[in-house]
Amino acid sequence: MRLLVCHLLLAAALAADCVSLSPPAAGSACVAPEGLLRWKEPAGETETATLPPHQHEKTIWDPAVDRYRMLSGDARFELRARGKQFLEIFIAVTDEGDRSFSVEVNGKAADTRHLGKPAPARLMPRRRTRRLSLVALVHGPAELRVRTDAPRYGISVVRWTPVRDFEERLVPAWRARAQQLAARPLFEAEGERPAQRRNYLEQLYERLSVSAQSEVRREARIGLARTAYWLAAENHEPRDIERAAVLLEEALRLAPRDRLVRQMVSAFCTGLNTGSGRPMAERAFCRHVEPVNWEIPLPFTPRTAPQWALVQRRLARRMEAITSWWVNERQHPSGELGGEWGDDVEILRSWGPQALGFGSEAAARGLRRLADGLWSSGVLEHGYDRRVSDVEHSAEPTTDTQPLLAALDPDSEEVRARLKLTSECAWNWIARQPDGRWRFRGAWFNCRQIDPKPERALDVHLNMRAMGPALWLAYFRRDKKLVELLARWGESWLEAMRRTDHGKPAGLIPSAVRSRDGEYLIGSGPWDKPEAEWDYYQWSGRSQEAITSLWLALHDLTGEARWLEAVGESFAVLARCEPYGRYCEAIRRTPEAFYEWRRRSADARFDQAMSYSTAASDDTRLERMTRLATEAERRLAHNFDMFTSEVLYTDRVYYAPPVDYQLFLFGGAPPRGERYPSFALSWPPARAEFARAVLEAAPASLRIRMYSFEPTSVTIPVRFWRLEPAKYRWELKDLAGRLLASGELRADRLPLLAEFPLPPAKEVTLSVHRLPG
C-alpha cells in the first residue's frame, strides 16, 4: 500500500504546477510567481516566515509549503492555466481569533469552509499558528481572490493540477493514504507525529471532497465529520462544536444508516468523548439518531447471584472489553497508544480504577507497559516533562503514570526511586515569597525552569497535579523535610481561604493566587474567574477539592488537627446555599474530600447539604451501588468504536465508573496520581471473577461484601492501605451469620497484602477488626 501511494504521488507531482510566494526552498517543485500564475499587487510585502515542518501530510507536502509570505488584506492572483484545474492555496494565521478565509474565482465564492462566525471562546493561550488550505475546482484562465478579515497572515504556495490528473492520480493516492491513516495511528517510536494524525486526515479529506466520484465524496464528507467531531471533543471551542454539528448533520443526511455516522452523531448528542456527560450542543437531529449497541458475552449465571454483583459483572466486562482492545489491538511495544505520550497517559484514569478496583490483568499489563515506556521515552528530564509548559499539561506524563504504577507494585524500589526523583523538583518549584509565605513560583515550568513571564508567576490549584508523585512518596516514606515543605505550601492556601475580600465567601479557596503576595484578583474579572490564560485555572468544585485534599494529606502525615479543621472550614458555604447555590452545587459534584473529612471528623454539620447519611443499611448501600453501576453500564453499552478504533485523541476516552461507585470498590476516594492515597484497600489481579463491595472502612476495621462466580473455591488477594499498626482478626461469614473461615493478620507495614478464601456461588461478608492490646 505504501509503495503504491508513493508511486502514484510521484507521478502526480510531475503533472502539478506550483508557485511559491517566498523564494522556493531547496528540493521544492515550486517556482516563483511567473508564467501561468501572476500575483497582483505584491508591492511592499517582503516579510517571510518559516514555520516548523511536518504540519502537512507527507503526500501533500512540498518544502515550499513551510515558507510563508506575510500579507495584509486580500490577496489577488491571475491564473493563466487553461482548462479545469484542482486548486490548492496554503495559508497560515496566528490564531488569536476566529479569522475568516475564503477564495473567490472570477468573483464567485468557491471555498467558504473557513468563514468564521462570531462566538464566545474559551480562555486559553491564543498565539498559536493555524494552518489551513483553500481548495476548489476552477476553469482557467481565472481571477482568484483570497478574502480574509485577518490583519496579518501568510500564503506559502498556490498549486494547481489538471482535473484529469487529480482524479486519476491524486485521488486514488490520497484516498489510499486516508484509509491507511484512518485505520492505523502514528507512533513516536516509529519516528511519526501522532498529534498530527487528525490534521493529516482533514487535509486529505478536504481535497477528496471535491472529487467528481460520488463514492469518494461520500467517504470524504464522513471523514471530515469525523475530524471535526474529534477536534470539538478535544478543544471544546464553540466554533469547533458548531462546525462539527454542521458536518455531522450533513453526514447523517448522506448516510443515515452508516454505522460510524450513527455512532459519531449519538456520541455528539450525549457528550460521550467530552468527559462532561452533557451533549456538546443541542440539535434537532439528536432526537432521531440511534446509537449502535454492542454485546458482551456472559457465561452461566448462578441463581444465587445478587443483583448488585450481576450488574457489577456486566460493568466490569464492558470495561474489560474496551481495555483489552487498547492493550491487545492498539498498544505499541513502546507502550504508546497512538495519541502522543501527553494524551496517551490520560487513559490511565480509566485503567487505574479498573486494574486496582476490579483486579483487571489487562488494565494492569497496559498500565505497566505505558508507565515504563513513558519513563524511558525521552519525554522526561529529572523525572518531569522536559518542556516548559503549563502545569495542566506538563504534570500529566509523570503524575498520570508513576503513582498508579506504585499502587500496582508498592514494594518496587525502582518505582519509589522514580517518585523520589520527580519529588525533588518540588524544591525548585516552591519557594518563600516576599510576604513570607511558601508558594509555587509559577504555573508554567519543567523540573528546573520556571517561565519568567510575570503574568505566569501564579500558584494554581493544578499545581497539586505536579505534586502527585511527592504526595505518594510522602505516604511511603514519611520524609520529614518533604512533609515540612508540603505543610508550608498548605499554610499559604489556608491563608487564602480565610480571606473574604473581592466578594469571596468565607471558606472558598481561590483557584489561583499571585506568587509574590497571594493576591487572588487576577485580571479585571471576578475573584473566581482569574484571567490566567487557561480556563483550567478558574474556580470549580474540582479546584476546591484539590486543595482540601492537600490538607487531608497533611492531617494524615502530621497528625495535626488544624488540617482537618481547615477542611471543615472549606465547607462553610454549604451552610448558606441559598445565596451561593452554584458554589454548593459544584462542591456536591466533587464529594471525595467531603467523604474523607466526614469519616475522619464524624462532624455532621453538612450532612443535609451533601445528602449524606451514616444510617443507611447494607441493603440501601447495595441498592445505590446497583443503581450507579446500571447507569454506568448503560452508558458503555453503546458506540464501542467511539471508545476504541475511532478515537483520534487518546485523552478523550472516558469509561471509569463514577466516583460514588468507586467508593464501594476502594473504601475511600479512588487511587489517582495527583492525590494522596486515602483509599482503604485495592484489589490486585486475581484468577477469579467475583464481585466486591466495601460497606464500611475505618482505620481499625473493614467490612466487605463479596460474591464469587467461580464454580469452585478460590483465594483472592486484597491490599490494605489505611489500617492502623496492630494485630487484626478476620472472619468470613455467610448472610445467615455462619462462620466460614477466619484468621489473623498483623499490619506492621503498609500497604499490607493478604489473601482470603472465597466459596463458590455464595454471598459472603468479610470483616476485619482490630484485636485489643
Q: Indicate which CATH number applies to the domain containing 759.
A: 2.60.40.1180
pLDDT for position 128: 75
DSSP bridge partners of 133: 90
pLDDT in tens, 589-640: 999 999 999 999 999 999 999 999 988 899 999 999 999 999 999 999 999 9
Question: Does residue 14 fall inside a structural domain?
Answer: yes
- Of 196, 229, 261, the residue that ends a domain is 196
Question: Does residue 644 fall inside a structural domain?
Answer: no
Q: For residue 127, what is the domain's CATH number?
A: 2.60.120
Question: Does residue 205 fall inside a structural domain?
Answer: no
Inter-residue contact 349 to 656 (CB < 8 Å): yes
Give the integer Cα–Cα distance in Å for 568 and 601: 9
pLDDT for position 755: 98
Cell of 614: 451514616
pLDDT for position 4: 42
For residue 632, the SS3 value is helix
DSSP 377: S
Give the integer Cα–Cα distance in Å for 147 and 77: 12
Read off the pLDDT of each residue in 229-257 and give the average, rounded to a whole number: 94
* Number of Cα atoms under 13 Å in the Cβ half of residue 439: 27
Report whether the peptide linkage leading into residue 725 is cis, meaning its omega lies within 30 degrees of zero: no
pLDDT for position 9: 44
Question: Which residue's entry shows cell 474567574?
Answer: 529
63: amino acid identity, one letter: P
Of 299 and 405, the one with more pLDDT: 405
Read off the pLDDT of each residue in 761-769 and give the average, rounded to a whole number: 97
Inter-residue contact 37 to 80 (CB < 8 Å): yes
307: amino acid identity, one letter: Q
Q: In 3D, which of 181, 165, 185, 202 has the Cα closest to residue 10?
A: 165
Give the integer Cα–Cα distance in Å for 313 and 688: 12
Cell of 382: 529529572
Give the integer Cα–Cα distance in Å for 130 and 57: 15
Collect all residues with Cβ–Cβ distance below 8 Å to 587 and sequence separation of at least 6. Answer: 541, 544, 545, 571, 573, 574, 594, 610
Cell of 607: 450532612
Question: Does residue 109 fall inside a structural domain?
Answer: yes
* Number of Cα atoms under 13 Å in the Cβ half of residue 514: 14
pLDDT for position 651: 97
Give the total residue count for the chain.
773
Domains of the chain: total: 2
Q: Which domain holds residue 753?
A: 659-770
pLDDT higher than threshold 60 for residue 682: yes
Question: Does residue 390 fall inside a structural domain?
Answer: no
Question: Does residue 15 fall inside a structural domain?
Answer: yes
pLDDT in tens, 143-171: 999 999 999 999 999 999 999 999 999 99
pLDDT higher than threshold 90 for residue 715: yes
pLDDT for position 44: 56
Read off the pLDDT of each residue in 331-353 and give the average, rounded to a whole number: 97
- Quote the radius of gyration of the chain (alpha carbons, Å): 29
- Of 180, 196, 212, the residue that ends a domain is 196
- Of 196, 231, 265, the residue that ends a domain is 196
Report whether the peptide linkage leading into residue 751 is cis, meaning its omega lies within 30 degrees of zero: yes
pLDDT in tens, 96-108: 667 899 999 999 9
Inter-residue contact 1 to 176 (CB < 8 Å): yes
Question: Which residue's entry shows cell 508507565?
Answer: 371
Cα–Cα distances (Å) from 30 to 153, 159, 161, in that order, read 20, 8, 13
For residue 9, the SS3 value is helix
pLDDT for position 126: 64
- How much is the pTM? 0.95
Q: In 3D, which of 391, 454, 453 has the Cα closest to residue 426?
A: 391
Cell of 118: 462570531
pLDDT in tens, 23-53: 888 899 999 888 899 988 765 567 889 988 8
In this structure, is the dihedral angle defined by the CA atoms of residues 66, 71, 74 and 75, taken in order, positive or negative?
Answer: negative
* Number of Cα atoms under 13 Å in the Cβ half of residue 655: 28
Give the integer Cα–Cα distance in Å for 322 and 350: 10
Give the pLDDT band (50/70/90) at residue 508: very high
In this structure, is the dihedral angle defined by the CA atoms of residues 466, 494, 568 and 511, taken in order, positive or negative?
Answer: negative
Q: Where are the alpha helices (DSSP H) in 376-479?
A: 391-394, 396-399, 402-408, 413-423, 426-429, 463-466, 468-477
CB atoms within 10 A of CB 368: 18
Inter-residue contact 309 to 157 (CB < 8 Å): no
What region, left, alpha or beta, does residue 476 occupy, with left being phi > 0 and alpha being psi -120 to 50 degrees? alpha
pLDDT higher than threshold 50 for residue 7: no
Percent of the chain predicted with pLDDT > 70: 97
Q: In 3D, which of 367, 357, 391 has the Cα closest to residue 461?
A: 391
Inter-residue contact 310 to 708 (CB < 8 Å): no
Longest dimension (CA), the chain: 98
Question: Does residue 764 fall inside a structural domain?
Answer: yes
Percent of the chain predicted with pLDDT > 90: 87
pLDDT for position 45: 64
Question: Does residue 7 fall inside a structural domain?
Answer: yes
